[in-house]
């Protein structure tokens, strides 16, 4: 389930979330000068990261098939993708921030989160030099 970027300019945000309503929420929260691509599974997120080279990846932890943490590990293990900016989102209290940090996430957001917190996280990562 992939949707290609709609706009032709602006930073590309890849959203990997299996809940369609939450994907829509993320697009609305970030709407502005961003382009979006979407998927609902971790393996496809890795493939889209390889082909689209997004500026930021928003990645849910609990996904069908391959978890978000496994997807991050694959992204970080790829020499061409290792510097990709990744924000991990989860609602599950059994996933510790230290596990997410160990997997290589740049930022962690605990669901539910304030839309402004999401915007700040994405903007902060985009401002970083890589």
Q: Share the mean pLDDT of the chain.
A: 87
Torsion of CA 65, 58, 26, 120, to 10 degrees: 160
Q: pLDDT band at residue 97, thresholds of 50, 70 and 90?
A: low
pLDDT value at residue 129? 66
pLDDT by residue (tens digit) across 12-38? 999 999 999 999 999 999 987 899 999
Per the CB < 8 A criterion, the answer to whether 125 and 85 are in contact is yes
Ordered by start, the domain boundaries in the chain are 12-127
Query: Model pTM?
Result: 0.88
Q: Which fold has domain 12-127?
A: Rossmann fold (3.40.50)
DSSP alpha helix (H) spans, the chain:
20-30, 42-52, 68-77, 97-103, 115-127
Cα 75 versus chain centre, distance = 11
> In this model, does residue 58 exceed pLDDT 60?
yes
> In this model, does residue 5 exceed pLDDT 70?
no
């Amino acid at each position: 389930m992939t949707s290609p970027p709609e706009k032709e300019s602006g930073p590309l945000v890849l959203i990997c979330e299996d809940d369609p309503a939450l994907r829509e929420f993320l697009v609305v929260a970030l709407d502005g000068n961003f382009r979006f691509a979407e998927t609902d599974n971790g393996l496809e997120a890795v493939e889209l990261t390889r082909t689209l080279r997004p500026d930021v990846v928003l990645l849910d932890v609990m996904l069908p098939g391959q978890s978000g943490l496994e997807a991050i590990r694959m992204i970080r293990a790829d020499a061409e993708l290792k510097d990709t900016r990744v924000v991990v989102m989860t609602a599950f209290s059994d996933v510790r921030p230290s596990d997410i940090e160990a997997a290589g996430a740049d930022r962690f957001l605990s669901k539910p989160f304030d839309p402004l917190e999401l915007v700040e996280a994405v903007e902060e990562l985009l401002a970083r030099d890589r």
